[in-house]
Structure 1
Amino acid sequence: MNAMSNALPEYVRASVPRPPGDREPWYKNTAPSYAGIFLWVGFYLQLANGTISQMALGLAVVALIAAGLLCFGLYYYAPAMLGMQTGRPLYIVGTSTFGTRGGYLVPGLLMGLLQLGWFAVATYVATDFIMKGLHQTSAVLFTVVAVLWAYGFAFVAIKGISYVARAAQFLNWVPLVMIVIVAVATVGGVPNFHPKEHHPWRGFAAVLEIVIGFSAAAGAAGADFGMNNRDRRDIVRGGLVGIALAIVVAGALPLLSIAGMHGRGGTSYDYADAIASVGDVAPIMFFLFAAATVVPTCFCAFIASNSFATMLPRIPKTASTLVGVTIGALLAVTHAAQNLIGFFVIVGASFGPICGAMAADYLLAGKRWSGPRAGINWAGYIAWALGFIVGILNHIPGVPAALVAANHPAGLYAFVVGFAVYWALAKAGLRPAVVPEFQCAGNVESAALVAEKGPS
């Protein structure tokens, strides 16, 4: 090993690729795991806001199909292929795009920080649904439930994540049963539903923004899912079923339910009100939706904890986890985590350009992983920064109206900017050298896997 490889950070040198013999087919890991993400009520709780109020249901379904394919093709595919080819997680394959030193922050710590946001959202949603099931509005009780939920399941995540993974095999499908029941109970009002306004592009763009914002970080985590897959066919099938199809099913049924509720005289676009309209079984359904939120709560806490422990090894894992859980609990208790759409915008702006830059890097390397780049890859950082600015431009005070892309999917634009800027800067030579020894040792694809993978 030369001086360059000896200078690799510990988190890179300690990485061990998952061998091909330990991989499993797509229907055992990637598809059900991703489907569980989109079946979680946090995805569709506010999906109707600004969407079916401005366009017909049929067009909303078309928008969901388009969003699902975009999430699969742009945000998930390249990271998943990199994970499959190398057997390594996101924070390792990301060192090609952002550098071995740059990888500490992006995507390393950034993923951990955003997982705290998801942890707060999951804690808030679960607590809110428990309160609705109990028919309670007490702020004190809300705080008690939120604190118990946050710290209790954070402890479970750290000490017993394997049990949570087993429970997920059942709990992930509970929301599917629930959304089918709500849809059947409200479908009678659908023929009487009519959008209050006629702005189809605004509604279409809003669907893209919400779905992409929700799934951008999960798309980047395709590297972590891909490292468990055997070949390209697993990547494609797992993504099409677990992402593209799941988005359509988990998005269309709740929109149908809210449209049906409006057809019966309802006025709300919150899916919780559609659940409440079911009748006497609504409290039980609220509790079941809350129970299904155990899985995302635990997984978010687990991922955040591992991210901080990996990237900040000098800080005790217990201390960093405790601080993170406390922040998440405070966001839930103060209801700051209630603004789901605003949080989705931040996620889309943060991970849209990451996925864009990684996709460009993947193509530039011949649809493979080039290996970690020494130090900081400024092509990746500049691409991420400019893409992030574009992603949040609508929400920066004082920005001239001519520069604001109102009623447009800013998260998608963030991906495009990240891709284009990285491509241009890479062609201009603004990338550090690859660590050669690690590159050679980092690709675990066998000749049989390459042949089976077929054309990329």
Structure 2
Amino acid sequence: MNLRDVGWPPRLQRALQNPSTDRDPWSARVAGALISGYLWVAFTDAIATTSLAVGGLVPAITGAAIGGLLACVLLFLGPSLQGLQTRQPLMVVASAAFGIRGSALVPGLLLGLVQMTWFAVAVHYAVEFNLRGLLAAGLINPRDLRAGPIGSPITQSTVYAATAMLWAVSAALVSTRFIRWIAALMIVYPIFIALSYAGAMVWSIPGLPSYRDAAADPINAARLATGPAFWGMVQYVFGFSAIVSSQAVNWGATLNRESDVRKAGAVGVGLASTIIATIALLIVAGSIGRDAMDQGSEAGANSNDLLLANPDAAELAPPLVPFPRNPEAYRLGTVLESRIGGILGGIALIVLGLGSLASAVYAAYAYSNRLESIRKRPRRWAWGVVGAVVAYPLMVTGLAANVPLVIDLTAGMVAPMLGVLTAAWLRHRTSWPGPAPGICFDAMIAWGAGSIVGLLPVLARVVPMAAAVRWLPMALLAYLVAIAIMTGSDVIRSLGKRSAT
């Protein structure tokens, strides 16, 4: 095939003609990068709001384990094995599934927008956790943040707005020149992040025996359910893992052999997501238990924190749609700031916040690089700044702080994309066919139909009749829908060939 004849961009021609020569064992870089993704505070901060605030500890931990296992088997293995088979990056591999023109949209433009969204999340957590850390340590006046009660949002303050813009533009510019320095630093820095979680865990352990699941609470048992907590956690872990696994093809291209892919997926996705999610859940549960120990009962410990988010509507709630408790009371940041507090809580917040700043640099590098590959002008540094400006409204409006919503939105489109890539790998396990010209409509239809299913939880937040969908693992269903459509198209194509002969 003449690459110029099918309109392959020069940059992608070079990628196809120069396959990856890196060969690393699974433990060298890939496993560390995957584990660092789950250590990111964006994963752990709001994880209890979709589980403990809805049902209880046991279904939440079980859901995290199932979500991590499914993510390893479904999201990571197929695309990474395709990268191992082809030794090509994602932009080349996707051209076989979606077509040369189609891959510019999916995953090209799609992942650029997704990474831009998570860039906003990363900058938000970097700014908020650093400001909250200074506030907890008594190094900043609460009036400067216009912060009300503990856990109240600071995204409307002038200090937050100015800092977010400065850090967003700085992270975008740093990503163009100093990404290797940041990568070298992040080889060591996750140790301090892990120590922050470990310290919070040690502090919370004495309160775990006093924590009571919602299902055991006679007051709230009728309002809260274990089923939504379990499925909500599957959606949370599986959806976040879809974002982490969006680079699985690139990682698979650098590994030595198939066993390295399996080990990297098992340790870096399956075990890492389950263990880190469990630690975050135990920290929140233990902190609530410590309040119960101090006050004599969980309900009396922090009654304002444990109120339902919409108590007036609780009487009208259908049996399968719970009204969660105040989510701010179940955030990891609230535990570090208000329950641990002081210098120790402030240090932990700052350590986690600075780690999120590194994630912002990675995201800026990813989306600017991807957008430049689609359109050469402006230059990559300019694309980084443009992305920072576009992402800024997500920060100041508080949308970047709503991680469950961001997961539902982005994973709803990324999971079916990974489903299409997995189906393409199953279709061509023996030999990779190379780039397909134009647009592969079966792949685009599969991705589109899967995305419609995956985005239902976002719709459920504004349409009361679809509220139950919010507590279901729709990202998983979106992935399965995409694979089912791709498999169906293969069957139809095979039957057509047989009838023609």
TM-score (norm 1): 0.89
Contact 1:90 1:223 in 2 (8 A): yes
Q: 1:286 aligns with which of 329, 349, 369?
A: 349
Residues 53 and 374 of structure 1, relative CA distance in 2, 3 Å threshold: same
Contact 1:46 1:340 in 2 (8 A): yes
CA distance in 2, matches of 1:80, 1:422: 19
**What is the aligned partner in structure 1 of residue 269 from structure 2?**
243
1:176 correspondence with 2:194 = yes
Alignment of 1:97-246 (within 5 A): 97-135=97-135, 136=142, 137-138=145-146, 139-196=157-214, 197=221, 198-246=224-272
**What is the aligned partner in structure 2 of residue 68 from structure 1?**
68
Q: CA deviation at 1:17?
A: 6.3
Q: CA deviation at 1:294?
A: 2.4
Residues 5 and 76 of structure 1, relative CA distance in 2, 3 Å threshold: farther
Q: CA deviation at 1:101?
A: 0.5
**What is the aligned partner in structure 2 of residue 426 from structure 1?**
490
Alignment of 1:48-59 (within 5 A): 48-59=48-59
**What is the aligned partner in structure 2 of residue 388 from structure 1?**
451
Residues 172 and 368 of structure 1, relative CA distance in 2, 3 Å threshold: farther
Contact 1:254 1:271 in 2 (8 A): yes
CA deviation string 1:16-65 (max 9, x = no partner): 46657521111111100000000011001110013123444233222211
CA distance in 2, matches of 1:21, 1:14: 14
CA distance in 1, matches of 2:3, 2:345: 64
Amino acid at match of 2:341: G
CA distance in 2, matches of 1:130, 1:48: 21
Amino acid at match of 1:242: G
Contact 1:209 1:411 in 2 (8 A): yes
Q: CA deviation at 1:366?
A: 2.7
Alignment of 1:324-403 (within 5 A): 324-366=387-429, 369-396=432-459, 401=465
CA distance in 2, matches of 1:72, 1:18: 29
SS in 2 for 1:48: helix
SS in 2 for 1:228: coil
CA deviation string 1:346-396 (max 9, x = no partner): 111111111111111111113653322111000111001111111112433
Residues 189 and 93 of structure 1, relative CA distance in 2, 3 Å threshold: same
CA distance in 2, matches of 1:300, 1:48: 25
Contact 2:83 2:249 in 1 (8 A): yes
Amino acid at match of 2:228: R
Number of matched residues?
430
CA distance in 1, matches of 2:120, 2:96: 31
1:261 correspondence with 2:287 = yes
CA distance in 2, matches of 1:400, 1:142: 33
Q: Which moved more, 1:403-412 or 1:324-333?
A: 403-412
Please list every run of 5 or more consecutive structure 1 residues that lacks an aligned counterpart in the other structure. 431-456
Provide the alpha-carbon RMSD of the alignment. Answer: 2.2
SS in 2 for 1:27: coil
CA distance in 1, matches of 2:187, 2:466: 49
Residues 338 and 88 of structure 1, relative CA distance in 2, 3 Å threshold: same
Q: CA deviation at 1:210?
A: 0.9
Residues 125 and 381 of structure 1, relative CA distance in 2, 3 Å threshold: same
Q: CA deviation at 1:405?
A: 3.4
Q: CA deviation at 1:220?
A: 2.4
CA distance in 1, matches of 2:206, 2:468: 40
Contact 1:98 1:373 in 2 (8 A): yes
CA distance in 2, matches of 1:102, 1:353: 15
CA distance in 2, matches of 1:350, 1:40: 21
Quick check: which has more Rg, 1 or 2?
2
Contact 1:98 1:106 in 2 (8 A): yes
CA distance in 1, matches of 2:393, 2:466: 37
**What is the aligned partner in structure 2 of residue 46 from structure 1?**
46
CA distance in 2, matches of 1:7, 1:52: 52
